[in-house]
Amino acid sequence: MRRLPRYAAPLLLTIAAAVVGSPWAPAQAQEPPHGRPAGEIPATLQPALARAEQGMNALQAGLLARLREQMTSGGPASAVSVCRDEAQAITARIAREQGITMGRTSHALRNTANGAPAWASALVRDSAGSKAAAQGIRVFDLGDRVGVVRPIGFADMCASCHGAPSAMAPAIRDVIASAYPRDAAVGFVAGDLRGWMWAEVKKP
Ligand code: HEC
């Protein structure tokens, strides 16, 4: 058997400690890696959950309204440019109006700027490929803040831009390929978990 190099033992110990978790880690590391179901959180976290949900409702409504408007007036090929050009700005504006930090993320990203916040990354990764109905709101106590995630389901109206690539209009495929060369957000079918909305709310 080949001998391991001299640095292997400390390296392996470091990796093991990172995986197992160290006793000196901050309190929030005690949170379950997938957070807690909304129905199982202490009453002290309820106001933050309510604010997060209010913000998420506003974000969902804002994005959907703009998407529907453009799909109706210009069709999916023009709507894809609107998503490309406006989704980030709409998200930032609504988060500002709501006074909280918010975004959308997924295990299969189109825009790599939509990566999950660190506290939600295990849940986002482990829920990949599941059905939206199998998921629910999850809450994370982050010390001075509360993190909340809510599943985003895939519906038929999403298919023109996130469905099977072979069924997508060439004009849409072109816009996506040039704007997002590493796009992974295709191949979904109705009922799939498309991703998550997330919010961070300061504790009062
Ligand atoms: C007209 C094309 C189009 C349609 C229809 C569409 N999307 Fe998207 N979607 C995009 C584009 C473009 C982006 C990247 C936006 C950005 O740059 O932030 C995106 C990003 C996302 C993201 C953020 C995560 C990521 O992968 O970057 C989610 C979540 C998402 N879409 C869900 C949906 C859902 C759910 C529907 C149906 C209700 C839908 N989309 C319909 C074009 C579309």
Q: Along the 204 residues of the chain, how does pLDDT read in single tens digits?
A: 455 556 555 444 444 445 444 444 455 557 899 999 999 999 999 999 999 999 999 999 999 999 999 999 999 999 999 899 999 999 999 999 999 999 999 999 999 999 999 999 999 999 999 999 999 999 999 999 999 999 999 999 999 999 999 999 999 999 999 999 999 999 999 999 999 999 999 998
Tokens representing residue 112 in the block: 């790599």
pLDDT of residue 37: 97
Q: Identify which of 111, 186, 197 to mutate to test ligand 1's pocket (most ligand atoms within 8 A of the CB).
A: 111
pLDDT of residue 31: 84
pLDDT of residue 97: 96
- Using the mean position of ligand 1's atoms as its centre, give its distance from the Cα of residue 149 in Å: 17
pLDDT of residue 25: 46
Closest Cα to atom 11 of ligand 1 = 83
Alpha-carbon distance of 22 to 188, in angstroms, equals 38
Q: How far is CA 90 from the centre of its chain?
A: 16
Please provide the distance, in angstroms rounded to a whole number, between the alpha carbons at the two ends of the chain: 59
Report yes or no: 96 and 186 within 8 Å, Cβ to Cβ: no
Q: Identify which of 162, 173, 193, 196 to mutate to test ligand 1's pocket (most ligand atoms within 8 A of the CB).
A: 162
Question: Which residues are near ligand 1 (CB < 6 Å)?
Answer: 67, 76, 79-80, 83-84, 87-88, 104-106, 109-111, 114, 152, 154-155, 157-158, 160-162, 185, 194-195
Closest Cα to atom 10 of ligand 1 = 83
* Number of residues assigned to the chain: 204
Closest Cα to atom 20 of ligand 1 = 110
- Using the mean position of ligand 1's atoms as its centre, give its distance from the Cα of residue 83 in Å: 7
- Using the mean position of ligand 1's atoms as its centre, give its distance from the Cα of residue 105 in Å: 10
Q: How far is CA 150 from the centre of its chain?
A: 8
Tokens representing residue 103 in the block: 């975004």
Alpha-carbon distance of 31 to 43, in angstroms, equals 16
- Using the mean position of ligand 1's atoms as its centre, give its distance from the Cα of residue 100 in Å: 21
pLDDT of residue 153: 98
Half-sphere exposure of 131 (CA within 13 A, CB side): 4
Closest Cα to atom 21 of ligand 1 = 110
- Using the mean position of ligand 1's atoms as its centre, give its distance from the Cα of residue 115 in Å: 14
pLDDT of residue 23: 46
Cβ partners under 8 Å of residue 197, min gap 6 = 56, 59, 60, 102, 103, 104, 149, 150, 152
Burial (CB count within 10 angstroms: exposed 0-12, middle 13-18, buried 19+), residue 182: exposed
Among 35, 7, 29, which Cα is nearest to 136's?
35
